[in-house]
Structure 1
Amino acid sequence: MFKTELRKKYMQKRKALSDDEAFLLSEKIFDHFISYFKPLSKQKVHIFLPIEKFNEIDTRIFIQYFLRQEIRVFVPKVVGEELISVEIFPETEFETSSWGISEPVSYKDSGEVNFNFVITPVLYCDEKGNRVGYGKGFYDGFFLGLSEGSKKIGVNYFNPDEIIDDIWENDIALDYLVTPTEVLSFFGGEE
């Protein structure tokens, strides 16, 4: 199936979830992430803030946990055509962007490229880690600048069951996918 078709299909599937269903599934995804990756104090996590109108995974559960555990938290902010990474703290002020995304008021790019985990939104991910997002290419550009050891982890309500027919040369696959039912590794059994 082509990305445009998958994008439409999975946006509709996501919108069909009630608020309670989405929150329960988000909690299951969070539990799978914590039990599989076991993040530690002082590690660095880059994580998106959810776009509520698109019924994205509620990553605020993750962020609250990370801050309590003294795990450093960085979130994306779109500046022009680029995604920068802003470190946040319990007292960080936020505003809503023109995309409807909660973002830090600060424009200070952390310059960090060596994350332990980069938790990424996806509309769909296939069984090889290829992903479908909103089609803007922000994360492909962001992934290019990451250090080799940064684990690119997608979170999604749905497990892979379809092939993406139009993978492009510049598309960068995920390393892992966390769903409400499992954690998939795309390393062919290697860690």
Structure 2
Amino acid sequence: MKKEEIRRRVKAQKALLSDNERKEAAKSVFAVLENSVAFLLADRILMYHSLPDELSTIEFIDRWHDRKHFFLPRVNGVNLEVLPYDRSQLKYGAFHIEEPVGDNVEDIDNIEMIVVPAVAYDRNGNRVGRGKGYYDRLLAGSRATKIGVGYDFQLVNDIDTEPHDIGVDIVITQSHVITVRHRK
């Protein structure tokens, strides 16, 4: 399926969700994530700071930040930088997303797990982002376990990919956990 069509369909479905449905979905998905082997073994985890239409990461980060080392991305030009999470050191940056401030940029090689936001995923771990390629560029240089999280309707049958697209190793929705085998 073409990426623009996927973006349009998923946006329409997200608009129909109630606040309670959003909250329950996030609770369900992150309960699965926090009990996964990948999460239990990882200490240095790159999360995303959720936008209003994404599964909220805020409660999850707050619950675990004193037991795991969390990092958040910050836009720098056309790339993402990785900085340590500190609730008191966030400000609104590019695209009106809360981002970490400071100069303590972390090397992506030191990150063990990345929770990757996307508009949609398929059963092969392919993903559709928002169209700017920030995560594709970041993920291309990482050996970390990549986990995609989303609502059930964000899991689609098949995504048309391009050579620069970087997928995920695991996809978690309210009803599905898909482990991708033999990723390229």
TM-score normalized by the length of structure 1? 0.87
Q: Which amino acid aligns with 1:153?
A: I
Q: 1:85 aligns with which of 82, 89, 101?
A: 82
Match of 1:170 in 2: 164
The two structures, once aligned, show a CA RMSD in angstroms of 1.9
Retained in 2: the 8 A contact 1:74–1:86? yes
Take 1:181 and 1:133, find their aligned partners in 2: how far apart are those partners?
A: 21
SS at match of 2:65: helix
Give the CA deviation at 1:136. Answer: 0.5
Contact 1:78 1:84 in 2 (8 A): yes
1:140 corresponds to which residue?
136
CA deviation after TM superposition for structure 1 residue 107, in Å? 4.5
Structure 1 residues 51 and 107 mapped into 2: Cα distance closer, same or farther (>3 Å)?
A: farther
Determine if contact 1:30/1:61 at 8 Å carries over to the other structure.
no
1:162 partner amino acid: N
Superposition pairs of residues 73-112 of structure 1, within 5 angstroms: 73-90=70-87, 92-112=88-108
Higher fraction of helix: 2
Tell me the amino acid that sits aligned with residue 167 of structure 2: A
Uncovered stretches (5+) of structure 1, i.e. residues with no partner: none
State the aligned residue count: 182
TM-score of the superposition, structure 2-length normalised? Answer: 0.91
Per-residue deviation, 1:117: 1.2
Query: Structure 1 residue 161: deviation in Å?
Result: 3.6
> How many percent of aligned residue pairs carry the same amino acid?
27
**Counterpart of 1:68 in structure 2: which amino acid?**
D
